[in-house]
Amino acid sequence: MNILVVTVGKLKEKYLKMGIDEYVKRLGPYAKIEIVEVADEKAPETLSDQEMQIVKKAEGERILAKIPQDAHVVAMAIEGKLISSEDLAKNLDQLATYGKSKVAFVIGGSLGLSDEVMKRANEKISFGRITYPHQLMKLVLVEQIYRAFRINRGEPYHK
C-alpha cells in the first residue's frame, strides 16, 4: 500500500519530527509512506470570514496539486466521522482488499481544509472533537496508521 500524508505548513519542532521519523521507519515493512508538506498561506492573526476562505482556498490548491488522481482521499476533519484505531485498521484493510493501493490522508492548516479539498475527499474522519495543532496531528496520524497495520497483522501493540 502507498500512503501519502499531505499537510499544510513546515514542521519545525524537533521532537515532533523525531516522533514522525520513528513511525515512518516502523511503517517500512508494511507500506510505502510519503509525507508532503505544502506551504501555509501567510495571513494576519485576525481574519474576516472572506479572508479565511481565501487562505483556505490557496492552501487547498497546493494540497490538491499533490494528490494523485487515483488516490483514495481521507480528510482529517474535526467534523468528520469519529473512528477508533480498530475502525482505521478495518478501513485500510478494506481499501487494500478492493484495490485501492494509494491512500492520501490530508491535514489542513490552522484554519482547516478548503471546500474544494473536502469535496475531493472520499471520506472525512476525526480522531476526536478536540482541536489538535496540525503539527501534532501529523504525529498522531502516522502513529495511528502504524497501529492500524499492526492490528491488521495480528501483531502486538500497546493499548
What whole-number distance in Å separates Cα of residue 106 and Cα of residue 7?
6
- Supply 83's cell numbers: 473512528
Q: In the beta sheet, which residues pair with residue 21?
A: none
CB 135 within 8 A of CB 16: yes
Confidence band, pLDDT 50/70/90 cuts, at residue 158: low
Note the pLDDT tens digit of each residue in 44-103: 788 889 999 999 999 999 999 999 999 999 999 999 999 999 999 999 999 998 888 999
What whole-number distance in Å separates Cα of residue 49 and Cα of residue 101?
37
Residue 157 reports pLDDT greater than 80: no
Which pTM value belongs to this model?
0.94
pLDDT value of position 44: 76
